[in-house]
């Protein structure tokens, strides 16, 4: 069997796997996000800051996903897909966040009106430039 005949099945299987992974992302939702600054105090979900995820990748749920508190503890994959200027998003970067609070209950937020979720500043910086005041996000439950 020639080298080419050995490589073809390997390449085809790799292409199929990548296609399947890309198709899995079709169930994602689209929304908007802002960020909020510390201090992160006792959260509506009952978590205190020592219980927040390591790496400080967390968010507060906007009313669209709050679900009467059922959003507490939910984890999402999130990425930036657009912003208020062309280079607002970092190159395709998915992060995993946990919902620890309700956006309406945050004292330290700046502009949460209508946001799907408010990201911690650390999470926001991972997917977008801080100079972007608002970003469009794609998100899906993990």
Q: Kindly report the pTM of this predicted structure.
A: 0.77
Greater model confidence, 86 or 109: 86
pLDDT at 5 (0 to 100): 60
| SS3 category, 16 | helix
Tens digit of pLDDT for each residue in 61-73? Answer: 999 999 999 999 9
- Per-residue pLDDT, averaged over 127-140, amounts to 95
* Least confident span in 7-16, 94-103, 108-117: 7-16
Q: Is the pLDDT of residue 11 over 60?
A: no
Q: How far apart are CA 89 and CA 124, in angstroms?
A: 10
Domains of the chain: 28-141 (2.40.40.10)
More confident residue, 49 or 127: 127
Residue 32 has pLDDT above 90, yes or no: yes
Q: Which helix (H) or strand (E) holds 123?
A: helix 121-127
pLDDT digits (tens, 9 = 90+) for 73-93: 999 999 999 998 889 999 989
């Amino acid at each position: 069997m020639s080298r080419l005949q050995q490589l073809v099945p390997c390449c085809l299987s790799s292409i199929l796997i990548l296609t399947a992974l890309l198709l899995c992302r079709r169930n994602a939702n689209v929304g908007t996000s802002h960020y909020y600054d510390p201090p992160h105090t006792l959260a509506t979900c009952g978590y205190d800051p020592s219980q927040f995820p390591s790496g400080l990748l967390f968010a507060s749920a906007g009313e669209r996903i709050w679900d009467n508190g059922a959003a507490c503890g939910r984890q999402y994959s999130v990425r930036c897909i657009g912003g208020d200027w062309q280079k607002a998003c970092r190159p395709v970067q998915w992060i995993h966040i946990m919902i620890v609070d309700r956006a309406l209950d945050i004292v330290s937020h700046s502009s949460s009106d209508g946001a799907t979720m408010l990201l911690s500043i650390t999470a926001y910086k991972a997917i977008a430039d801080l100079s972007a005041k608002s970003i469009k996000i794609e998100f899906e439950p993990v």
